[in-house]
Structure 1
Amino acid sequence: MKIAGIDSCPLGWIVVLHDTNGFSYKAVSSIEELIEFHTDLQRIFIDIPIGLSSEKFTRTIESKLRKELGKRSSTIFTPACRKAVYAKNYDEAREINKEILGKSISIQSYNISKKIKEVDQFMEIKATELEIYESHPEICFKYLNNSEIIQTKKSTKEGFQERFQLLQKHYPQLKSVYHNITETYSKSKVKQDDILDAMVLCVSNLNSKEKLRYLQDENDLDEKGILVKITY
């Protein structure tokens, strides 16, 4: 079974894959480009919202995620509604989100709208046999760490090393994977944090090979019929 963990990066997406040959990696400008290279890819964990709010549906999974991460809940943000994601600019997105959800959106939220839109559109055209699930790196790290939340910030040297060592503890070969990625792509294209996140998403995907583990809320089916759940 070929699986992948995907995180956004300045180039587009950084992907860590695993199959019978072990771990591999690739940075791509789009999800469709990834599928062109890996037509046999079967399951993806990706750090991007899947299933979006609309006039008749509101995502509520974020409140559950925040409870899961306690003091690290600041890593969870509420995505814009679907119409705002497809807006022409930030001002329009803010107005649409206010109209539909009763609140504005941050510039940080708007800045990833392009990636959210890309995945939302891909969900409509993807092959039915390809499974793609929303995930979250800090939730994955928590359950890789015996359900203990990692309190350090991965943007710090301490936080980075704590997570990197945890990954290596489970899969020592990820050390060389990480260094190969940093040698292949400059920091301006793929940041160190992006690599860590893609690796933990791939590891969680691999560890869930027999049975998916996920968080789900009661309000879980969006207007397009997409099931909103967070795999880990």
Structure 2
Amino acid sequence: MKAIGLDGCRGGWLAAFAENGSVYNIEMLTSLRQLRPELNTSIWVDMPLGLPAASEYPRQVEALARQKLGKRRSSVFPVPCIEVLACRSYQEANLLHKQLTGAGLQKQSWFLFPKIKEVESFSIESSVKEAHPEVLFADVNGEPLSASKKTNQGITQRLGLLKQLDPDIYSLFTKTVSLYPRKICARDDIIDASILAITACHPEWRADGIDQHPDYSAEGHEMNMRTVKYIP
């Protein structure tokens, strides 16, 4: 089975391409329009897919993911309500978000607005599922990882788990690091895209999403995150 793992980065998107459990290519995309996935390709993306209306804010899946991740809970950021997506400035979006939900809008969420919109548009033509790399690493490891992915220890931990899943991943990781400067693609972007691709192409590992009773957005997207039951 073929799969693509997508992770947003400063240069655009990092796409990892996998088949039968192994990543065979990693490349930088400036736009998701560059992707031409084959039929039945499984695509998992680390980006909110399905924003709640203000009346349904916040999404339940974020609270469940934070609970599952424990000390790594800070890697799950609040997803904005859909009404603020059309705002033209952070100040406007933050004020409207407070008025509608009682909670302010994180700057991190605001910076992701263009990519959230892009994924929404891309998902209309492709079968895309939302997933969170830290949740998937916790699934494979049996518990949340102890170190942040921004540290050398965290990179080593995650690469070790990836090598457990795909013995050849390290050479592709080092090649990708050499191709793209960190100012457009961080090491953890490569790792995140890889875990998404590898787990997405193992249908026998798939479990229900984190939220056992997910809500759906007005656009019909399941507001959930994929999980796996790792089978060594």
| TM-score, normalised via structure 1 length | 0.89
* Residue 136 (structure 1) aligns with: 132
Corresponding position: 1:114 with 2:114: yes
Matched letter for residue 220 of structure 1: D
> Are 2:159 and 1:159 equivalent residues in the alignment?
no
Against the structure 1 CA distance between its residues 217 and 84, is the aligned structure 2 distance closer, same or farther, given a 3 Å change threshold? Answer: farther
Secondary structure of 1:133's match?
strand
Q: Which amino acid aligns with 1:52?
A: L
Aligned to 2:43: 44
Deviation at 1:105, TM superposition (A): 0.7
1:56 Cα deviation from its structure 2 partner = 4.2
Structure 1 regions of 5+ residues with no counterpart?
none
- Counterpart mapping for 1:173-184 below 5 A: 173-184=168-179
Give the aligned partner of residue 35 of structure 2: 34
Give, in whole Å, the separation in 1 of the partners of 2:101 and 2:196.
Answer: 30
3-state SS of the aligned residue for 1:49?
coil
Query: What CA distance in whole angstroms lies between the structure 2 residues aligned with 1:209 and 1:32?
Result: 29
Q: What SS does structure 2 have at the residue aligned with 1:13?
A: strand
What residue number does 1:204 align with?
A: 199
* Number of residue pairs the alignment of both structures matches: 225
SS at match of 2:192: helix
* 1:168 to partner: Cα distance: 0.7
Residue type of the partner of 2:78?
T
Hey, which of these two has a bigger chunk of strand by percent? 1
Deviates more, 1:14-23 or 1:108-117: 14-23
C-alpha offsets along residues 102-129 of structure 1, whole Å, 9 cap, x if unaligned? 21111112111111111122233x1xxx
Deviates more, 1:86-95 or 1:40-49: 40-49
Distance in 2, matches of 1:99 and 1:209, equals: 45
**Identity fraction in percent:** 27
Q: RMSD over aligned Cα, in angstroms?
A: 1.9
Q: Quick one: distance in 1 between partners of 2:9 and 2:75?
A: 17
TM-score by length of 2: 0.89
Mapped contact 2:23–2:194 kept (Cα < 8 A): no
